[in-house]
Structure 1
């Protein structure tokens, strides 16, 4: 068995959503051996930093929060689909040619994983693709960008998926992952009441 880490490292200079500097984590030294008997680090960051899970409350008023998540949905078999040739967005026409069944967790590999920083023009999942996956009754969707959508004013992709209780896993790093079936582990930090949480995501192959 191989363990394939598909998580983004958390650093002060890491990629953040649309290069918004205010979203970069702040990591400071709380104490070291010159000031005490322990070494401790303090981190301040948005719960949607790096590899993370979106919960319904992120977009839907009165939506569920992270402590209410069904963890079986992120301890599951998954399918990685290679869309690295797709430009701009993944739509229903791209997904309809793939083998997708009810209960699948789908990971979308795009050219986001092949560049150092996709910036504001990252590849995303549009509302037609989200509706297709919702109609297929998948349990989750992951993507290698820090947002599953962009430039959709009504947040349609998020709303379609989250209202169907489909897990959204963002900020994956899939450069070295081939199109195949794997076992996904992506457990979020249990921050009670939060609209999302960082996760350490790995694939077992």
Structure 2
């Protein structure tokens, strides 16, 4: 969704949370459950309940996700996830993003990088999605970036020992997953990807959007 104002364009890059949405590996137990606590037939108000895995849809991972002593959500300062970012067009990549793919771009220290792939166009989110290979993760670590996001439900797919996640976490790089980038052109934007504040959690849902001046 794109919102136009007099001076800004706002691009919603989040997944909608629904019972039928795509989830990691298509595992049914990961699908959200939305139920009613009360409606106007049982009371004076309408209230709903949502039950879902914290890695559902558009979400931010913290190091505890893969590292036993990793820090959790409340440790993240908002200026790390409300920040300038660069969208890189990698829609020509067939399976995995490597260091060679990333070396084609201007990536600088402190950047927050969003990886736009064919995941945003094709029905492959649950299986066989394009992911960030460990060589690509190591390349981003060397560039000393702030964070990386991808239009997949996982930044890696079935990699042994979770090398991509762990390489990024050990370098204190933010990981944002489940983006929708189909309508986003390559370039620079202001990213807002603040997670819901759940102290002690290893992840949390995000309403992510991009802002660009006209």
Q: Same fold (TM over 0.5)?
A: yes
Q: Structure 1 runs of 4+ off > 3 angstroms?
A: none
Give the equivalent residue in structure 2 for 1:100. Answer: 107
Residue 9 of structure 1 aligns to a residue whose secondary structure is coil
Provide the secondary structure at the position in 1 that maps to 2:193: strand
Instruction: Give yes or no for the alignment of 1:61 onto 2:68.
Output: yes
Aligned residue for 2:5? none
**TM-score, structure 2 normalization:** 0.94
Aligned pairs, number: 205
The counterpart of 2:96, out of the listed 89, 92, 103, is 89
Q: Which residue of 2 aligns with 1:136?
A: 143
CA distance in 1, matches of 2:114, 2:83: 12
Match of 2:23 in 1: 16
Q: Secondary structure at the match of 1:2?
A: strand
Q: 1:29 aligns with which of 33, 36, 40?
A: 36
Q: Structure 1 residue 192 and structure 2 residue 189: aligned? A: no
Report the Cα offset of residue 183 of structure 1. 0.4
Which SS does the other structure have where 1:169 is aligned?
strand
Q: CA deviation at 1:165?
A: 0.7
After TM superposition, give the deviation of residue 117 of structure 1 in Å.
Answer: 4.0
Q: Are 1:124 and 2:125 matched, yes or no?
A: no
Equivalents in 1 of 2:166, 2:115: separation in Å?
18
TM-score (norm 1): 0.98
Asked if 1:40 corresponds to 2:47, the answer is yes
Contact kept? 1:15, 1:117, Cα under 8 Å: no
- Are residue 76 (structure 1) and residue 69 (structure 2) matched? no
Mapped to 1, the partners of 2:207 and 2:169 lie a distance apart of 21
> RMSD over aligned Cα, in angstroms?
0.7
Q: Which moved more, 1:114-123 or 1:59-68?
A: 114-123
3-state secondary structure, aligned to 1:34: coil
Runs of 5+ consecutive residues of structure 1 not aligned to the other structure: none
Q: Determine the C-alpha separation between the residues in 1 that align with 2:47 and 2:124.
A: 30
